[in-house]
Structure 1
Amino acid sequence: MTAAEPADLRTRLVDAGVDLVAHEGVQALTLREIARRAGVSHGAPRRWFPTHLELLSAIARRGFGDLAARVAALDTDGSPRSRVEQLARAYLDFAREQPGMYELMFRHDLLESGHLGLRETSLPLFGVLVDLVGRGRPDADARTVAAALWANLHGIAQLWRWGSLQLATGSEDVTPLLRGALDAHLGSGTTR
Structure 2
Amino acid sequence: MTESDIGLRKRLVDVGAELLAAEGLQALTLREIARRAGVSHGAPRRYFPTHLELLSAIARRGFDDLAERVRSTLAHEPADPRAQVAALARTYLEFALHNPGMYELMFRHDLLESGHLGLRETSLPLFGVLAGLVGEVRPEADARRVAGALWANLHGIAQLWRWRSLQLALGEDDFDRLLDAVLAAHLGADGDR
Instruction: Give yes or no for TM over 0.5.
Output: yes
Deviation at 1:114, TM superposition (A): 1.3
Deviation at 1:177, TM superposition (A): 1.4
Deviation at 1:110, TM superposition (A): 4.2
- After TM superposition, the structure 1 = structure 2 runs for residues 23-38 of structure 1, keeping only pairs within 5 Å, are 23-38=22-37
Q: How far apart, CA to CA, are the structure 2 residues paired with 1:65 and 1:91?
A: 13
- After TM superposition, the structure 1 = structure 2 runs for residues 55-134 of structure 1, keeping only pairs within 5 Å, are 55-74=54-73, 75-110=76-111, 113-134=114-135
Structure 1, unpaired ranges of 5+: none
Report the number of matched residues: 191
Q: What is the aligned-residue RMSD (CA, Å)?
A: 1.6
Deviation at 1:163, TM superposition (A): 1.4
Cα 1:47–1:189 change in 2 (3 A) is same
- Residue by residue over 1:142-173, the C-alpha shift from the partner in whole angstroms, topping out at 9 and shown as x without a partner, is 10110000000000001111111111112222
Q: Indicate conservation of the 8 Å contact 2:70/2:88, yes or no.
A: yes
Deviates more, 1:83-92 or 1:104-113: 104-113
Cα 1:29–1:88 change in 2 (3 A) is same
Deviates more, 1:144-153 or 1:108-117: 108-117
1:22 matched to 2:21? The reply is yes
TM-score, normalization: structure 2? 0.94
Q: How far apart, CA to CA, are the structure 1 residues paired with 2:112 and 2:145?
A: 20
TM-score, normalization: structure 1? 0.95
Q: How far apart, CA to CA, are the structure 2 residues paired with 1:12 and 1:87?
A: 30
| Ranges of 4+ aligned residues in structure 1 off by more than 4 Å | none
* One-letter amino acid matched to 1:59: I
Alignment correspondent of 1:7: 6
Q: How far apart, CA to CA, are the structure 2 residues paired with 1:55 and 1:152?
A: 29
3-state SS of 2:89 partner? helix
Q: Indicate conservation of the 8 Å contact 1:111/1:119, yes or no.
A: no
Of all paired residues, the percent bearing the same amino acid is 71
